[in-house]
């Protein structure tokens, strides 16, 4: 990479990503991650989430230019060997505020975990989950009977949220989606769109008989009692995209796919 911007290169362990990594290292100069100002991540959306979560854990947040060597690559740019320096110089940046999931378990443990795409609550057994849902300390659903429920960011609204028939949210909308997963009661409730400033609390009803797990992207906590979800504005993440194919363009395009 050029001398003006110190850039690190990270890759998923797949054969395609490792082969691309070899070609890029032969063509450009990269620095160790600890010395970098930017990061190029080779892989799929899952690897991008892993890279961003690693930054959140170390509290060293760098802009990330993802290159798709995976399957969907919604958060990634197209793979090309040439003009990488120019692409990164011209890239459009997007700020993404992650969610923060705070969990209290049945056994009294507490966990605080970030989520870039979504926080989901899921039943652990064949029995449906029964949840009380509060929004800004007001009970809005005394009993939601369902397979689960999730809170999705705009960046994550085209992932699990979309498969659960939740709404697609524009990146700059300042909203989150609250979407049920296979709801049984109330039967006609299909979810809500809420401001990002909203505090959402889920209380598991009869948590021992009807156990529920909570998942922040790829990290799971089992046998939860109470789950609080808020936007974490203290640690915004920066994703870089080619200007001709930015994340907001992709989110808009998803609304017209049959």
* Residue 209 host element (H or E): none
Residue identified by tokens 């998923």 is 12
Say whether pLDDT at 48 is over 80: yes
Q: Is 136 annotated as a binding residue?
A: no
SS3 of 11, please? strand
Q: Is 163 annotated as a binding residue?
A: yes
Average pLDDT over residues 79-91: 94
Q: Is the pTM of this model over 0.95?
A: no
Kindly report the CATH class assigned to 7-97+235-254: alpha beta
Q: Is 162 annotated as a binding residue?
A: yes
Asked about 217 being catalytic, the answer comes back as no
Q: What is the mean pLDDT of the chain?
A: 93
Q: Domain locations in the chain?
A: 7-97+235-254, 99-231
Ramachandran bin of 108, using left for φ above 0, alpha for ψ from -120 to 50, beta for the remaining angles: left
Q: Provide the residue count of the chain.
A: 258
* Residue 52 host element (H or E): helix 45-58
* DSSP bridge pairs for 184: none
Q: CA-based Rg of the chain, rounded to a whole angstrom?
A: 20
Interval 166-194: pLDDT, tens: 999 988 889 999 999 999 999 889 999 99
SS3 of 133, please? strand
Q: Is 118 annotated as a binding residue?
A: yes
Q: Is 62 annotated as a binding residue?
A: no
Span 99-231 CATH architecture: Sandwich (2.60)
Q: Is 45 annotated as a binding residue?
A: yes
Select which of 45, 137, 217, 248 is catalytic: 45
Interval 199-237: pLDDT, tens: 999 999 999 999 999 999 989 999 999 999 999 999 899
Ramachandran bin of 32, using left for φ above 0, alpha for ψ from -120 to 50, beta for the remaining angles: beta
Ramachandran bin of 83, using left for φ above 0, alpha for ψ from -120 to 50, beta for the remaining angles: left
Q: Name 80's Cβ contacts closer than 8 Å, sequence gap at least 6.
A: 87
Give the whole-number percent of the chain exceeding pLDDT 70: 98
- pLDDT, residue 2, reads 47
Q: Is 125 annotated as a binding residue?
A: no
* Residue 24 host element (H or E): helix 15-27
Q: Is 258 annotated as a binding residue?
A: no
Ramachandran bin of 206, using left for φ above 0, alpha for ψ from -120 to 50, beta for the remaining angles: left
């Amino acid at each position: 990479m050029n001398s003006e911007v110190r850039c690190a290169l990270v890759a998923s362990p797949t054969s395609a990503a490792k082969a691309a990594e070899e070609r890029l290292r032969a063509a450009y100069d990269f620095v160790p991650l600890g010395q970098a100002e930017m990061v190029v991540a080779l892989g799929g959306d899952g690897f991008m989430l892993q890279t961003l979560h690693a930054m959140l854990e170390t509290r060293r947040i760098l802009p990330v230019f993802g290159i798709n060597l995976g399957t969907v690559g919604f958060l990634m740019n197209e793979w090309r060997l040439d003009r990488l320096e120019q692409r990164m110089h011209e890239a459009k940046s997007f700020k993404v505020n992650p969610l923060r999931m705070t969990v209290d378990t049945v056994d009294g443990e507490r966990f605080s975990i970030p989520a870039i795409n979504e926080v989901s609550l899921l039943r652990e057994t064949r029995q449906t989950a029964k949840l009380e849902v509060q929004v800004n300390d007001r009970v809005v659903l005394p009993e939601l009977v369902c397979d689960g429920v999730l809170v999705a960011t705009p960046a994550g609204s085209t992932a699990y949220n979309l498969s659960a028939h939740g709404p697609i949210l524009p990146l700059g909308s300042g909203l989150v989606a609250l979407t049920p997963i296979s709801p049984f009661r109330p039967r006609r409730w299909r979810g809500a769109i809420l401001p990002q400033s909203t505090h959402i609390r889920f209380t598991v009803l009869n948590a021992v008989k009807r156990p529920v797990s909570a998942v922040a992207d790829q990290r799971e906590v089992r046998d939860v009692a109470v789950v609080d979800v808020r936007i974490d504005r203290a640690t915004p993440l920066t994703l870089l995209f080619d200007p001709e194919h930015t994340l907001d363009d992709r989110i808009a395009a998803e609304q017209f796919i049959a």
